[in-house]
Structure 1
Amino acid sequence: MSQDEFDLVDRPRGGLTQADREYLVGEMDMSEYDDPENVDYQRRFRIRERIKNAILDFHLVANGLPHGDVEQIFDEAYDWERQLTAARHQGDEFDQDSIPPIPPLLEAWGDALRFFYLGFGIRRPDLAKMIIETAVDDAITEYGLIYEDAYLDVDVTFEIAGEEDDAIPLDKFKERVENNNLPDDPLEVDLILTTLVRTGHLDLEEAEEIYEKQVDKD
C-alpha cells in the first residue's frame, strides 16, 4: 500500500495520531528537536500504548457494535469482490490487468494478521493456532445464528505447511533478490524488499531498482 494509491497519513483519527503516522512513514523531521533520541523513544512508547488499547477496543466493537454497522465497515471490500467477480466472468476476454486493485481496507486487514503472527504467533504457534481457530469458529457460529437462522457446526483447523529444511539462508536469498529471482506477487515482493531495507540488509536505492525490474517491467 503506497501513498500514491491511498493517503496513509492525512485521514481521520484512528488508533494513531497524524503525528504517529508521519513518524512511521518517515516524514517527521527529528532534527528540529534538542533531544531526538528521547523524542524517538517517547513516540514509539506512545504508539505501542495506543496500539495495545486499540486492540483491546476490538473486544468492545466485536461484542457491542450492531452487525449492520460491521457490514458497512466492509462496504469497500464487498464492492471490490463484486468487481473482481465481474472481471472473472469476462471469459476469454479476461486478463490480469482487468482485476481491480485490492482496496486499502482489505490490505490493511492482511497487515493486521501479519502484525499479530509476526509479533506473537511465530514464537508461540500452538497458542496462536488456538486463538485463530477459536476466533474463526466463533465467527462462523455467530454468522449462522444471525444470517442463516441456524447453528453451523464446523471443525476449524489452522496449519502451516513447510519444514525448517525449506529455509533459505539470508546470504543465498539475497543473491536471489539481487538477481530478480523473486515471487510473482507484487505485494510479497514489496514486503521482502521493505523488510530487507528496514533490517539494513539492502540499500533503499537498490531495493527500488530491483522492484522496478521485477514488478514495473513495462
Structure 2
Amino acid sequence: MCSEATMNERKNAMLTTEDRRWLTGEKAYTGEHAKQQRYQRRRDIRKRVYNTILDFSILFEHLEEAERQKLFEQLAETDGDERNDERRDDEFTNGLRDALAFVLYNTGLTESMLEEDAAHAESLAERLLRDAVYESGKRDEILVEDVALEVDATPGPIAAVVKDLKAGNDVSPAGLRLLMESDRVDTAEVQACITELVFDDE
C-alpha cells in the first residue's frame, strides 16, 4: 500500500484525493447529512471505476507503443543495476498486482478455487483471464491455442492458522503469509525476531 503522503500528493485519477481519504478512513462523514454524503461518495466512486474500466479498451487499442513502453518501463527488474533501481516503481508494480486481484476476486476466482469438481463450470474470472491472453496474443499476431489456469488452494482462515500455531502444529509458508498480511501481527516485531534468528550466530 502506498504511503499516506504519496496518496494525498497524487492528482485526481480514477479516485479523487477525497475518495482516497474516505476509503482509507482518514476522512469521515458526520452530522445530519452524513448518510446521504456516504451514499453519494460510494455512487461517485462506483461510476468512476466503471468508466475507467471502459477506458481500458481505448488504451489497449489506441495508446501509442512508445507511450506504453514509457509507462511500463517502471517495472524494470533491478539486476543489480543502479539505473534500474532508480527507474523501478514499486507502488506502480503493486498497483498492477492489486488491479488484477481486484478484477479476479470480484469476478469469482476464489469461488472456483475451492470447487472439488475438476469439470466445474468456468467462472467469469477464468473466462476473462483466458480471453485477455487471447487478445494479447492477437495483438502480436500470435495464435493462442489454449489457456489453462491451475490453482492449488485450500481454505485458510486466520483463525485456523492461529489455532495451529497455539497447538504447536506446522504452519505452511502460505499460512504464515496470510497471518502476516492480517492485522493480528506486528510486522516490525516479526522482522526483528527473524533478524535475530538469522544473525544470531554471527
Task: Please indicate, yes or no, whether the TM-score normalized by the shorter chain is above 0.5.
Answer: yes
1:21 aligns with 2:20: yes
> 1:51-130 residue pairs with structure 2 within 5 A?
51-78=49-76, 81=77, 83=78, 85-86=79-80, 103-122=90-109, 123=111, 125-130=122-127
Select which of 142, 149, 156 maps to 1:159.
149
Question: Aligned partners of 1:30 and 1:11: how far apart in 2?
Answer: 22
1:2 CA displacement: 3.6
Question: Aligned partners of 2:26 and 2:53: how far apart in 1?
Answer: 25
Instruction: Determine the structure 2 residue equivalent to 1:214.
Output: 190
Q: Alignment partner of 2:134: what SS? A: helix
- Structure 1 residues 185 and 71, CA, compared in 2 at 3 Å: closer, same or farther? farther
1:175 aligns with 2:174: no
Q: Name the aligned partner's letter for residue 64 of structure 1.
A: H
Amino-acid identity (%): 20
1:212 CA displacement: 2.6
1:174 CA displacement: 3.9
Deviation string, structure 1 residues 87-144 (Cα, Å, up to 9, x no partner): 7xxxxxxxxxx9x9861111101101111111113257533222211212221231x3
1:53 CA displacement: 0.7
Q: Alignment partner of 1:8: what SS? A: helix
- Paired residues of 1:136 and 1:156 also in contact (CA < 8 A): no
Unaligned 5+ runs, structure 2: 113-121, 196-202
Instruction: Determine the structure 1 residue equivalent to 2:116.
Output: none
Q: Name the aligned partner's letter for residue 147 of structure 2.
A: T
Instruction: Determine the structure 2 residue equivalent to 1:139.
Output: 136
- Paired residues of 2:108 and 2:124 also in contact (CA < 8 A): yes
1:54 CA displacement: 0.6
1:57 CA displacement: 0.8
Q: Alignment partner of 2:8: what SS? A: coil
Question: Aligned partners of 1:185 and 1:168: how far apart in 2?
Answer: 7
- Paired residues of 1:9 and 1:18 also in contact (CA < 8 A): yes
Question: Aligned partners of 1:13 and 1:58: how far apart in 2?
Answer: 17
1:155 CA displacement: 3.1
Q: Name the aligned partner's letter for residue 214 of structure 1.
A: V
* Equivalent residues, number: 178
1:13 CA displacement: 1.8
Deviation string, structure 1 residues 11-65 (Cα, Å, up to 9, x no partner): 122111111011112111323x433232222211211111011111111111121
TM-score by length of 1: 0.66
- Paired residues of 1:15 and 1:50 also in contact (CA < 8 A): yes
Instruction: Determine the structure 1 residue equivalent to 2:46.
Output: 48
Instruction: Determine the structure 2 residue equivalent to 1:3.
Output: 3
Question: Aligned partners of 2:156 and 2:64: how far apart in 1?
Answer: 47
Question: Aligned partners of 1:45 and 1:137: how far apart in 2?
Answer: 33
Q: Name the aligned partner's letter for residue 158 of structure 1.
A: A
Question: Aligned partners of 1:15 and 1:26: how far apart in 2?
Answer: 18
Q: Alignment partner of 2:107: what SS? A: helix
TM-score by length of 2: 0.71
